[in-house]
Chains A and B, each alone.
Chain A
């Protein structure tokens, strides 16, 4: 029978929002021992649905119609006190970012024990015994040590395991997971997904799993509900929805999921435009009382980018790929080695380096100044480099047209653009300097999958038209496969493997590369 039933739920947004209702007429149900994936892009209302089920609606949002029931018991009628007894005990939640969801000043053991002490009035020793058992169950490597550890002493994946242990502590009837693996590396994501699935099967928990990633859906879902603009557009078993989607939107979303098919190899120019030789960068943290071990972010890194080609630098967090990008554009100094662009070492002066190498940033919301007009931010680089203002502004309008934006929108402020449009502005800004090398640091990882596909297509198109040489930093092998000619796989500051992307993906030489490929969610469905 259904543990959680949501029927005709409509939640109103505060007046002045971009639409009237956050979600409209949403009906969902999750049975015991079932995983329901709620999939949608940003703004689809999937997270609002989750917070409504938890009784944690943001201020300003209100339930206008519909009902929610937990094992037959009406949730809408609950008083705040009754909600507190339900939350944690009968419905538990795992959040996206485990670092912010855990209290940084409490040891992990104390936080987990709190669940039993608050909800069941167990004494401290019994609670701690159960906390230890819970940590064992989520396969933490050193459960006794983890009990005494503070959240910052654990890795991202370990923290998320702690969150899961906490959520399942009281054997809740329903577990709500809001993008629990989005902040994790791909190999860790695979482990955490397997853990959730395994625990859910053992405890018979009903799981509502919010995600934007169809790969994750393919790994874990029993049933799928696809949401768009606050409505459920399609619902069915995972097999049905993933293999025979009926709704246009679902079909478009699935089509936008990049596969791991490397494109047919292009003939590359023998001319090397960017050469990194033996680059070393060490981070030393100086403390008054203790000196941490220096971190080798880059350890003798050598890569080559051929003119007109794209080199993907792939790796998990902490692999040094972003440090490499920042060194190449001159934002970070290196401790050793050489960066050669177009035959000469990267100039020290900012203005000289700007003509050679430009960067596209990851977060389109943080990379534009909110208080300046979009066009001005693109034109300022050429103007500072000596282009007359009128010419620079005309070039900006042309660039806006080139990246698929309305040339008239140069006078608008960043908040008037969507995330994908902002990333186009970021690309226009980089192209305005007519650089030899474009460094793109995770340019699509903050974007929805359909927007991601558009921006990748734009980069491909620009490369064909302008002969761009791109150093493409990404954690996502599928994205790399879409665009790149060659790949360098990095791990802990060391280049593990380089080569043409087709060859590396088809026959990885390093065990690490193979484990990355194996961990890609939804491989079975979307192909390798």
Chain B
């Protein structure tokens, strides 16, 4: 309750929530505003925004409506962001919790695996995964989740390391409770706040990674994502720069929204850290 109040008092958090809500509405409203296939041909290619009142944001090199792609793309970007983040957070928490709680040999093994993932640049790893498993929406999303979990695991492990020796956890051991109870009921709820805050960073990065893949035309070409649109504009970047710039601004705003929400969550969930600034 207190955290919710603190969140609503923070202007950054409210602005972030408003931006994300707008993107969500865009995604949800896409089918009503642009019921036709956004990837279908709509008119003459490369019309500047405003040149034809039918296409307020112009058309791309193939003559598809940019506004329609932007609205439908909001859906894709949010979906990829949320699903990939969930995958990363679940894997990260599971590995971090086990490593931090048990320590010793379990910790050593799991952390070496985590470090192996971390030492590879995650975009490179993503390219390899997509190259091997193909670039459908599903594989791209799962691949992004698979390259994003190591920092979550390290953060969770650090929290578990300090929390597992706390008296209340020891008290539960003395009460004869099992490890599953200790991990899930006692330690995890206390370890979650920083992980939730970090999840917003993972989500922003997930959206960016998808766009970067699409820019290299390695993402699923059959969905109208913002990244694909930027990729399409690449060949005409010097003359018709708006094709790339419009979805670029959309990505920028969405990530700004996610980051602001993350900051708001941080201020609300870690009040002591926030007041120190």
User: For the complex, is A175 an interface residue (Cβ under 8 Å from B)?
Assistant: no
Given contacts A331-B170, A380-B181, contact A369 B176 (CB under 8 A): no
What residues of chain A lie closer than 8 Å to B4, measured between beta carbons?
A: none
Given contacts A369-B190, A380-B181, contact A331 B168 (CB under 8 A): no
User: For the complex, is A358 an interface residue (Cβ under 8 Å from B)?
Assistant: yes
Interface positions of B from 4 to 48, Cβ below 8 Å from A: none
A230–B129 Cα distance when bound, in Å, is 65
What residues of chain B lie closer than 8 Å to A331, measured between beta carbons?
A: 170, 173-174
Interface centre among B173, B174, B178, B186 (most CB of A within 10 A): B174
A369-408 near B? 1/0 per residue, CB < 8 Å? 1111000010011001100000000000000000000000
B56-100 near A? 1/0 per residue, CB < 8 Å? 000000000000000000000000000000000000000000000
Name the residue of chain B whose CB is nearest to the CB of A354.
Answer: B176
What residues of chain A lie closer than 8 Å to B190, measured between beta carbons?
A: 369-371
Q: Are B186 and A369 in contact (CB under 8 A)?
A: yes
Q: Are A384 and B175 in contact (CB under 8 A)?
A: yes
User: For the complex, is B171 an interface residue (Cβ under 8 Å from A)?
Assistant: yes
A455-486 near B? 1/0 per residue, CB < 8 Å? 00000000000000000000000000000000
B139 to chain A, nearest CB (A): 38
Q: Are B275 and A59 in contact (CB under 8 A)?
A: yes
User: For the complex, is A351 an interface residue (Cβ under 8 Å from B)?
Assistant: yes
Q: Are A350 and B170 in contact (CB under 8 A)?
A: no
User: For the complex, is A329 an interface residue (Cβ under 8 Å from B)?
Assistant: yes
Q: Are A354 and B175 in contact (CB under 8 A)?
A: yes
Size band of the interface chain B makes with A: 10 to 19
Interface centre among B177, B178, B275 (most CB of A within 10 A): B177
A431 to chain B, nearest CB (A): 11
A336–B185 Cα distance when bound, in Å, is 34
B51 to chain A, nearest CB (A): 57
User: For the complex, is B166 an interface residue (Cβ under 8 Å from A)?
Assistant: yes
B191 to chain A, nearest CB (A): 10
What residues of chain B lie closer than 8 Å to A448, measured between beta carbons?
A: none
A331–B166 Cα distance when bound, in Å, is 12
Q: Are B275 and A366 in contact (CB under 8 A)?
A: no
Q: Are A367 and B177 in contact (CB under 8 A)?
A: no
B162 to chain A, nearest CB (A): 12
User: For the complex, is A420 an interface residue (Cβ under 8 Å from B)?
Assistant: no
Name the residue of chain B whose CB is nearest to the CB of A426.
Answer: B171
Given contacts A370-B190, A371-B189, A372-B185, contact A384 B177 (CB under 8 A): yes
Interface CB pairs A-B, < 8 A, 5: A350-B173, A354-B176, A369-B172, A380-B172, A433-B175
Which residues of B pack against A, CB within 8 Å?
A: 166-168, 170-178, 181, 185-186, 189-190, 275
